[in-house]
Amino acid sequence: MEDEVSVDVLLKENRVFAPPKELIKNSNVKNWMNKHNIKTYDELLLKAKDIEWFWGEVSKDVVEWFKPYDKVLDWNLPWAKWFIGAKYNIVHDALDKHVENWRKNKIAYIFVGEPGDTRKLSFRDLYVEVNKLANALKGLGVRKGDKVGIYLPMIPELPISMLACAKIGAIHSVVFSGFSSKAFRERVNDAEAKVVITCDGFYRRGKIIHLKKQMDEALEWAPSVKSLIIYRRTGHEVQWNEARDHWWHEITAYQPNHCKTEVLDANDPLYLLYTSGTTGKPKGIIHAHGGYAVGTALTLKWVFDIKASDIWWCAADIGWVTGHSYIVYAPLILGATSIIYEGSPDYPKPDRWWSIIEKYGVTVFYTSPTAIRMHMRYGEGWAKRHDLNSIRLLGTVGEPINPEAWMWYYNNIGSERCQIMDTWWQTETGTFVIAPLPLISLKPGSVTKPLPGFEADVYNTKGEKVSQEGGDLIISKPWPAMLRGLYKNPKKYMNYYWNKYPNVYLAGDIARKDKDGYFWIQGRADDVLKVSGHRIGNSEVESALVSHKLVVEAVVIGKPHEVKGESIVAYVVLKEDVEASDNLRIELIEHVVKEIGKIVRPEELWFVKDVPKTRSGKIMRRVIRAVALNKSTGDISTLRNPEAVEEIRKAK
């Protein structure tokens, strides 16, 4: 009950949470400001408006080039090159430099398996594993610029695989292990991967997920793939293809502990990561070595204030950008110790996470609003059983956080002592863009202000800056970790992000700014859903539904959901003569899961005779959503089939 009162007070009084003085004084960002004779946060923002000066200056703190750059930025909209002329490889900063000093014996990853097994890998251990695998990849013919597909769960072999690729200049394309074999196949074929890496299986909610089996299905039609490396995690029996398959432990067994780190151009591609847009097909976002290294390391160092003594836990999956940037690359560059946990947050009991925090003394913890709401539902009793006093900072990402969840997190996990860093960013941005620094007061539900070195704003449809009324969130200057394009699709890159308003990047979110210049993210402006923080295109789910032989048409909308943020609601038109039934409903839901993965399981699926369309035949998702959520539909007289609106209304 106490919580409810505080949320009320908070909302009424517009309460702000000032950072503790100690946090400010000892913070990495303050330390940097002192060195540069910068007195205040506002002065820092002002100075950082000179982005070339700023990023050049901060890069000195986080990366070591093989050969220094000649120029910080070359901006030829929409193409950016950062740190031009520099020779570089991100693996030098993530690994090689650490084994040259005391850090070699520091723990890089504490791995906690779902069944309770644990492993600690020092930077030296990680270095050896990465080098062995890199040599094995070379042995399979992988060369600079080749693509390697990775389908692995949350085990240390996932970062090891990524780093092994990067080390030899290959481009990794990680696919979230919760995606289905079909989704993996689509991505691996688009990337034309030569080699793929997986494991026999992994543990999830006490069961084994048979990943190798899914991989075998995916590779039934994947002509570019010549070899598959399989790490043994669960030890269950798997099918074997002699011509293609190699056990990880066998192929790496006799490889040397050293492998040369390929000297690359700072702008050479590091990875592809597929993400959802408004079409049925995912887009391959390209990130490059140099700018990405500087951007991710600096933002983690400043926003979460990571120090040598911290135990950092970003509880995302490495299969998404959050894990790429803030479990793999940034913490390793900073030489931090991170937790990797394999399993479900509430298995075997809802306090699994809190017990890990207590056991390993996690100091900085970062998760999603969905996870917080799930734990809220279980009740604070589970957290109270554990000593969480090691935590000094908290964070969230992926979707807007409601003030109630914010307060619950603040009170119960942060013991009313810890600032909550609500970080706004995207697969495309590579790093946080709008997020608090330890210097700034927080308002629950706001992501505060653009970080130094980033310029973001809110535009109305005329392209004018607006505040309270809200509009499109845009980024008006290039930034080092920005995407370098869409794989195989330069035109779409331009059209999708740079065409709506001149000279600025369109984020695809709706936001507003308050009188203090604080940003409040309201959600996506386009047809992209955020279900449990996972990004899914409406049309991807629709394509999956219409790929079923009995379906003619399908429309998918997002509906507010207490825990997941949004849930998927599907309206399906069946072929003539096909009878709607509960069994068919289940079959279609399972079909979507099979096509894409469990994360997109529709919460509701309704059979309708028709869906509202314009005269030109375009499906009116906006109208459907309004009807489903009991909101005003506006004028529907211009629809080709206004009677279809009734169909949607009845389907509840």
Which residues sit at the interface with ligand WTA, rule CB under 6 A?
275, 320-322, 397-400, 422-427, 447, 507-509, 521, 524, 530, 535
Q: How far apart are CA 499 and CA 76, in angstroms?
A: 14
Q: How far apart are CA 91 and CA 332, in angstroms?
A: 9
The distance in angstroms from the start CA to the end CA of the chain is 33
Closest to ligand WTA by CB, 340 or 475? 475
Tell me the closest approach of the beta carbon of residue 481 to ligand WTA, in angstroms.
12
Q: How far apart are CA 60 and CA 265, in angstroms?
A: 18
Tell me the closest approach of the beta carbon of residue 204 to ligand WTA, in angstroms.
21
Tell me the closest approach of the beta carbon of residue 380 to ligand WTA, in angstroms.
23
Pairing of strands 264-265, 87-88: antiparallel
Closest to ligand WTA by CB, 176 or 231? 176
Closest to ligand WTA by CB, 201 or 430? 430
Closest to ligand WTA by CB, 278 or 355? 278
Closest to ligand WTA by CB, 83 or 424? 424
Residue type, 258: H
Tell me the closest approach of the beta carbon of residue 231 to ligand WTA, in angstroms.
26
Tell me the closest approach of the beta carbon of residue 477 to ligand WTA, in angstroms.
18
Q: How far apart are CA 82 and CA 69, in angstroms?
A: 9
Whether 531 and 564 have beta carbons less than 8 Å apart is answered as: yes
Tell me the closest approach of the beta carbon of residue 517 to ligand WTA, in angstroms.
17
Tell me the closest approach of the beta carbon of residue 446 to ligand WTA, in angstroms.
9
- Of residues 609, 600, 593, 591, the one with CA closest to residue 651: 609
Residue nearest to ligand WTA (CB): 427
Closest to ligand WTA by CB, 113 or 436? 436
Q: Residue 78: is the preceding peptide bond cis (ω within 30°)?
A: yes
Tell me the closest approach of the beta carbon of residue 421 to ligand WTA, in angstroms.
9
Q: Residue 450: is the preceding peptide bond cis (ω within 30°)?
A: no
Closest to ligand WTA by CB, 449 or 530? 530
Query: How many other C-beta atoms can be found within 10 angstroms of the C-beta atom of residue 278?
Result: 15
Closest to ligand WTA by CB, 231 or 505? 505
Closest to ligand WTA by CB, 363 or 427? 427
Query: 512: part of which helix (H) or strand (E)?
Result: strand 505-513
Secondary structure of the chain: what % helix, strand, coil (to 5)? 35, 25, 40
Tell me the closest approach of the beta carbon of residue 417 to ligand WTA, in angstroms.
21
Closest to ligand WTA by CB, 193 or 507? 507
Closest to ligand WTA by CB, 335 or 558? 558
Tell me the closest approach of the beta carbon of residue 399 to ligand WTA, in angstroms.
5
Closest to ligand WTA by CB, 397 or 644? 397
Tell me the closest approach of the beta carbon of residue 635 to ligand WTA, in angstroms.
29
Tell me the closest approach of the beta carbon of residue 163 to ligand WTA, in angstroms.
21
- Of residues 304, 364, 293, 305, the one with CA closest to residue 329: 293
Q: How far apart are CA 98 and CA 105, in angstroms?
A: 9
Tell me the closest approach of the beta carbon of residue 28 to ligand WTA, in angstroms.
21
If DSSP codes are grouped into helix, strand and coil, which group holds residue 74?
Answer: strand
Tell me the closest approach of the beta carbon of residue 331 to ligand WTA, in angstroms.
16
DSSP 304-373: S---TT-EEEE-S-TTSHHHIIIIIIHHHHTT-EEEEE-S-TTSSSTTHHHHHHHHHT--EEEE-HHHHH
Q: How far apart are CA 282 and CA 186, in angstroms?
A: 9
Tell me the closest approach of the beta carbon of residue 426 to ligand WTA, in angstroms.
4
Residue type, 83: F
Helix count and strand count (H, E) for the chain: 23, 29
Closest to ligand WTA by CB, 122 or 431? 431
Torsion sign (Cα): 610, 616, 618, 620:
negative
Query: 524: part of which helix (H) or strand (E)?
Result: strand 519-524
Tell me the closest approach of the beta carbon of residue 420 to ligand WTA, in angstroms.
11
Beta pairing partners, 284: 274
Query: 12: part of which helix (H) or strand (E)?
Result: helix 2-13
Query: How many other C-beta atoms can be found within 10 angstroms of the C-beta atom of residue 522?
Result: 13
Whether 399 and 369 have beta carbons less than 8 Å apart is answered as: yes
Query: 139: part of which helix (H) or strand (E)?
Result: helix 123-139
DSSP 227-282: EEEEE-SS-------TTTEEEHHHHHHT--S--PPP-EETTSEEEEEEE--SSSS-
Measured at the alpha carbon of residue 84, what is the angle toward residues 79 and 85, in degrees to the nearest 5? 140
Closest to ligand WTA by CB, 261 or 322? 322
Closest to ligand WTA by CB, 135 or 299? 299
Closest to ligand WTA by CB, 194 or 535? 535
